[in-house]
Chains A and B, each alone.
Chain A
Amino acid sequence: MKTGVWLHGDSLSKRDPALQKYPTAPTVFVFDRPFLETARLSFKRIFFLYECAVEAAEEMRVGETVEEVVGWMKEQGVERLAVTESPSPRWREGLVRLREQVEVEVVPAEGMVVVPNGYSVKRFTPFWKDLGREWS
């Protein structure tokens, strides 16, 4: 099955863990129209993202992310998708909608420390004391 990699704003370079796993896969990045219409990011931010995406992604698109990714998959003959995990609620909603239509593999994001499942603290000091020993 041909795998494609969806790059997003939290993981926008060749360092992307999903792309590291599938280094020859075609790649896409989408400027999400509904989000950008309301977020009104400065042009400097948009252009910075463009410069990152130009280098990282084979194709850049503008529109509603899920529709664009699915459309790109069809055009490229991509049958399954790999993407690096993001904590963003908008990304998670997109993932649910994508999974209704296509097979998606989520690759863990790069971390400095490993945060165990279910781990919960309110402040940084105990977080770093518990998990940051490698770096202390």
Chain B
Amino acid sequence: MILPKFTGSREEQARDVAEALVGLFGEAREEAKPSGYVGGRQEAMEALGKFRVGGYAGSRNKLGGGVSRLSFYIRHGVLGIREVAESVRERFGKSFDSVKFWQELGWRQFWRHLYGQLGDGIYVDREVSKVPLGNGAETDLPKEITEGRTGLVCMDETVRELVETGYIHNHARMWFASFVIHFRKLGWKAGERFFYQHLLDGDPASNALSWQWVASTFSHRAYLFNRENIQENGGMEWCARCTAKCPFDATYPELERRHFTK
């Protein structure tokens, strides 16, 4: 069946696409609204042209840092991975920042390489976990998490941004995954599905193996974070308006004792 090329504003086109593809996306109650991030090569080239690599290495871990936000274009081949790397080389030359950026692009190719080797094996624990995990029986995350109603502002805001825009910073992805896997002892596969459904850059291998990296089934150690880490990299704003008893407000040895002791 041919899918027409619709005309009109983005919102009008979104309504037409939603009607034509009804039953093929999201939850029944999902509103058919486009993300603020626009698909297509023209937009991708503009975004690439605006990206500046200066300061990347020092700020990329901060939520407001100088990350490229090109991942969704690269994931879908709208920008070529080599094209992006060469654009940075031609415009900014080789520097500490460029090398760090290229390394992060290299991860994308690494995930692709592993996907070619492992196929659907990316959805199976690659190694024995290094810490106790939940039984992983859940197919979905609890609604209080996916609807952003945990009361933990940092986690709820992360979910809100993901669902509304289809993009969140990598550090927020790591915090959320660690929260799901280690603080709530839920299975990584349920979290992986949630991200895959919403991330515009959702890539099977990158997503599944990164969740496994946090879980420690694809890494030497489990990934944990604490409140200090969130404040250092995400700022004070979330904590300032949070009234919950913070489960992250502890030292790493204490968090390890709480969550990794059988």
Query: Does A associate with B in a complex?
Result: yes
A97 and B82 CA atoms in complex are apart in Å by 31
Question: Chain A: interface secondary structure?
Answer: mixed
CB distance from A16 to the nearest CB of B (A): 6
Taking residues whose C-beta sits less than 8 angstroms from the other chain, chain A's interface range is 35 or more
CB distance from B74 to the nearest CB of A (A): 10
Main secondary structure on B side of the interface with A: helix
Q: Which of A60-113 contact B (CB under 8 A)?
A: 60-63, 68, 84, 87-89, 92, 109-113
> Which A residue's beta carbon lies closest to that of B86?
A112
Which chain A residue shows the least CB distance to B42? A55
Q: Are A127 and B110 in contact (CB-based, < 8 A)?
A: yes
Q: A46-B17, A47-B14, A49-B76 are in contact. Are A124 and B39 (CB under 8 A)?
A: no
Cα separation A131 to B34 with both chains bound (whole Å): 39
- Out of B2, B30, B165, which one reaches A60, CB within 8 Å? B2
Distance A10 CA – B30 CA, assembled complex (angstroms): 25
Whether A135 lies near B106 (C-beta < 8 A) is yes
B35 close to A110 (CB less than 8 A)? no
Give which listed residue, B32, B81, B163, contacts A112 with CB less than 8 A.
B81
Instruction: Judge whether B41 and A41 touch: CB under 8 Å.
Output: no
A112 touches B109 (CB 8 A): yes
Alpha-carbon gap, A10 to B75, bound state (A): 6
Q: Which residues of B contact A (CB under 8 A)?
A: 1-5, 13-14, 17-18, 20-21, 23-27, 30-35, 37-44, 72, 75-83, 85, 99, 102-103, 105-110, 112-113, 115-117, 119-120, 126, 163, 165-166, 196-200, 202, 204-205
7 A-B pairs with CB atoms under 8 Å apart are A41-B197, A45-B199, A45-B202, A46-B25, A52-B78, A62-B1, A136-B99
